[in-house]
Structure 1
Amino acid sequence: MGLDPVWGVFGGAMRRHRERRGLRVRDIGDAAHVHFSLVSRWEGGINRPTASAARLVDECLGCDGELIAMHADTVASERRRKGTTPDGSPIDDEGDEMERRTAIQLIATAGAVIPLADLEQSLTAMDHILDTRIDLDDWERTVHEYGYQFVRRPVGALAADLTAEITAVSHLLNQGNAPRIQAGLLRVAAELSSLLATDLHDSGQARVARHVWRAARRSADASGDQELSVYVRAKEADDLWWAGSSPHAVRELADQAVHRAGGTPSYGILRAHIVRCRLAADGHGGEARTALRAFSETFERLPPGGHGRPEDALGEAWLHWHEAHLLTMIGDDQAQDVFDQALARYSADTPGTVSLLQLIRALDLVRRREIDDGLTHAVTTLQTGAMSTARRFVANKITKALPQQARTHPHATELRRLITPA
Structure 2
Amino acid sequence: MTEEAFGEALRRLRGSRSIRDVAQLANCSKTMVGDLENGKRRPTPPLAAALDKALGARGELTALAAVRPEMRALEQAATLQRGLSDALAAGAMTDAGLDDWEYTVARYGRATRYRPEGDLLPELISDIADLQRVLTHRHPLPVRRRLTLALAQMSGLMALTLLKLGDPSSRDWWRTGRAAAAAAEDRATLSWIYAQEAYQLYYSHDIEGAVELACRAQQLAGGLPCVGPALAAPLEARAHALLGHKNEAAAALTSAATALERLDPGDRIGSAFGYSESQLRFHSGNAWTHLKEIGRARDEQARALELYPAGDHTDRALILLDQAACLAFEGDLAGAATLATDTIVNLPSAHRSALIIYRAKELTTTVPKARQSVQEMRVLREVLALPPGRGTDDDGDDRPGDA
Q: TM-score, normalised by structure 1?
A: 0.67
- Measured after TM superposition, the shift of residue 240 of structure 1 is 2.5
Residue in structure 1 matching 2:140, options 152, 158, 178: 178
| Change in CA separation of 1:186 and 1:404 when aligned onto 2, cut-off 3 Å | same
Tell me the residue number matched to 1:272: 232
| Change in CA separation of 1:349 and 1:329 when aligned onto 2, cut-off 3 Å | same
Distance 1:67 1:141 in 2: 30
Distance 2:273 2:308 in 1: 11
Q: Pick 1 or 2: higher relative contact order, CA cutoff 8 A, min separation 6.
A: 1
Tell me the residue number matched to 1:394: 359
Does 1:334 pair with 2:296? yes
| Change in CA separation of 1:250 and 1:68 when aligned onto 2, cut-off 3 Å | farther
The answer as to whether partners of 1:307 and 1:314 remain within 8 angstroms in 2 is yes
Does 1:199 pair with 2:157? no
The answer as to whether partners of 2:221 and 2:229 remain within 8 angstroms in 1 is yes
Does 1:349 pair with 2:311? yes
Q: Deviations over 1:209-268 (max 9, x none)?
A: 1111111111111111110000001101112212x2422432332232122112323211
Q: Deviations over 1:44-98 (max 9, x none)?
A: xxxxxxxxxxxxxxxxxxxx8899879967864764454245xx5xxxxxxxxxx
Distance 1:298 1:305 in 2: 14
| 1:156 counterpart SS class | helix
- Measured after TM superposition, the shift of residue 414 of structure 1 is 2.2
Runs ≥4 in structure 1, deviation > 4 angstroms? 64-78, 131-134
The answer as to whether partners of 2:230 and 2:275 remain within 8 angstroms in 1 is no
Residue in structure 1 matching 2:118, options 156, 175, 188: 156
Tell me the residue number matched to 1:31: none
Distance 2:97 2:321 in 1: 42
- Measured after TM superposition, the shift of residue 331 of structure 1 is 2.1
Distance 1:155 1:304 in 2: 27
Residue in structure 2 matching 1:303, options 264, 274, 282: 264
| Change in CA separation of 1:319 and 1:132 when aligned onto 2, cut-off 3 Å | closer
Distance 2:340 2:108 in 1: 29
- Measured after TM superposition, the shift of residue 312 of structure 1 is 6.5
- Measured after TM superposition, the shift of residue 401 of structure 1 is 2.4
The answer as to whether partners of 2:267 and 2:275 remain within 8 angstroms in 1 is no
Tell me the residue number matched to 1:91: none
Q: Structure 2 counterpart of 1:220, which letter?
A: A
* Percent of aligned pairs with the same amino acid: 26
Residue in structure 1 matching 2:332, options 370, 381, 391: 370
Q: Structure 1 counterpart of 2:226, which letter?
A: S
Distance 2:104 2:72 in 1: 22
Tell me the residue number matched to 2:207: 247
The answer as to whether partners of 1:362 and 1:375 remain within 8 angstroms in 2 is yes
Q: Structure 2 counterpart of 1:317, which letter?
A: S
The answer as to whether partners of 2:260 and 2:277 remain within 8 angstroms in 1 is no
Residue in structure 1 matching 2:245, options 284, 304, 309: 284
Aligned residues: 313
Tell me the residue number matched to 1:361: 323
The answer as to whether partners of 2:268 and 2:274 remain within 8 angstroms in 1 is no
Distance 1:185 1:339 in 2: 39
Matches within 5 A, 1:40-79: 76=82, 79=85
Structure 1 unaligned segments of length 5 or more: list them.
1-63, 89-130
Structure with the greater alpha carbon radius of gyration = 2
| Change in CA separation of 1:177 and 1:395 when aligned onto 2, cut-off 3 Å | same
- Measured after TM superposition, the shift of residue 172 of structure 1 is 1.0
The answer as to whether partners of 2:267 and 2:274 remain within 8 angstroms in 1 is no
- Measured after TM superposition, the shift of residue 403 of structure 1 is 3.9
